[in-house]
Amino acid sequence: MRQQRAPRPRSSATDRPGDDPGRLAAATTACLAAGPPGYGTPAWGIPSPPREPAPGLAPTIVITVLFGLFGLIPAALASGRARRAGHPDGRYWIAFGAGLIGAAVLYAAVTVAVLTMTGHVDDYVAIDDLAIDDLAGVEDEAELPAPSTDALDPWAGATASGNAAGTCSFVPDSSGNPNLVDVGTPPAQVPTSGTASLTMTTNAGALRLTLDRAGAPCASASFVHLAEQEFFDGTSCHREVNEETFGVLQCGDPSGSGSGGPTYRFAEEVTPATGYPRGTVAMANSGMPGSTGSQFFLCFTDTELAPDYTAVGVVDEAGLAVLDQIAAAGNDGSFEATAGGGAPNVPVVITSMTVGR
């Protein structure tokens, strides 16, 4: 026979905490002391929900790349939120640093692209060494620089010759200079031997010029052409410099302003050995290759210049005496702040320039 169990007695009133005020109070106190459930791992094995890191990485990177140090703002805000939430905040400062590197790369790439499109990547020039009008291709008072001992002169020793087997290239001047006078263009085929004689008559006296067709065929041909067209007649010699190693009278500008000339340009005919002793007639230019026009200077001292100006001929002894008289009167110093020298104190005007007399 199966053993029979005695029936389980029913609980008395004191077995239920709700029926016993003392037990109920104790249970309530224990429950309140335990507090609300936290984010720890519950007994049933389901992990607590992860806390999301504070947002801000993307804004920090984007703003830093586009606006540089302004990226500090989102980085600082995101870092603060991360600390308050109990997360490490280093990631936001790393993002800021990466953004700065990205900004530097971006700006460098944009700069190179812009310079490449505008054609200036390889065209950096020492602007301080050039006059503003020189950059525009216009002759001005600075076209004949003061003597320089700068061994790094960018044009020193340059050789530019437009002459090849008696052929010269006279290029139209497209600078828009209003002080240019159109008297046509010399023929491209020019003599390359012998000399040409010019008589330069001024209010101070006459000077006889002998041009070297062998050494400077293009400049000689241009000089003769302009004289035949009466280009020089009635023009003034606008600049005089009177220094021991730099004594010149500059003429040949129909406007008298120092920026005039014919409507064409041609190349300099020089070598590293080109010099400017007393009595030299040389062609002025704007300081840029291929910018020779009509302006010329007459040396009344041994003049020290870089070999950048075509030595086209010489002045006779009687002409040098006239130049010495002009130099003795001095100049007004109006060009001292720029090119040196000034307008002659006694105005000098070319009344005529004739060929072969």
Give the pLDDT confidence of 126-157 residue by residue, as tens digits: 323 333 233 333 334 334 444 332 322 322 33
Q: Are 196 and 355 in contact (CB under 8 A)?
A: yes
Task: Please tell me the distance from the alpha carbon of residue 59 to that of residue 267, in angstroms, as a whole number.
Answer: 59
Higher pLDDT, 47 or 263: 263
**The three-state (H, E, C) secondary structure of 137-162, written as one string:** CCCCHHHCCCCCCCCCCCCCCCCCCC
Q: H helices of 269-329, where?
A: 317-329
pLDDT digits (tens, 9 = 90+) for 253-272: 999 989 999 999 999 999 99
Q: Quick one: DSSP state of residue 26? A: H
Other beta carbons within 10 angstroms of residue 215's beta carbon come to: 18
Structure tokens at 31: 């429950």
Task: Please tell me the distance from the alpha carbon of residue 164 to that of residue 289, in angstroms, as a whole number.
Answer: 17
Angle between helices 72-84 and 90-118 (to 10 degrees): 160
pLDDT of residue 138: 36
Query: For all residues of the chain together, what is the average pLDDT?
Result: 76
pLDDT digits (tens, 9 = 90+) for 100-127: 787 777 777 777 776 666 544 333 333 2
Q: Sheet harboring 296-299: ordered strands across?
A: 235-236, 349-355, 195-202, 205-212, 311-315, 280-283, 296-299, 246-251, 239-243
With tokens 């009177």, the residue in question is: 242
As a whole-number percent, the residues of the chain with pLDDT over 90 amount to 49
Task: Please tell me the distance from the alpha carbon of residue 146 to that of residue 105, in angstroms, as a whole number.
Answer: 44
Q: Are 96 and 60 in contact (CB under 8 A)?
A: yes
Question: Distance between alpha carbon 108 and the CA centroid of its chain, in Å?
Answer: 17
Structure tokens at 352: 């005529």
Task: Please tell me the distance from the alpha carbon of residue 296 to that of residue 248, in angstroms, as a whole number.
Answer: 10
pLDDT of residue 299: 98
- Return the bridge partners of 262, or none: 181
pTM above 0.85, yes or no: no
With tokens 């709700």, the residue in question is: 18
For residues 65-78, give the mean pLDDT: 68
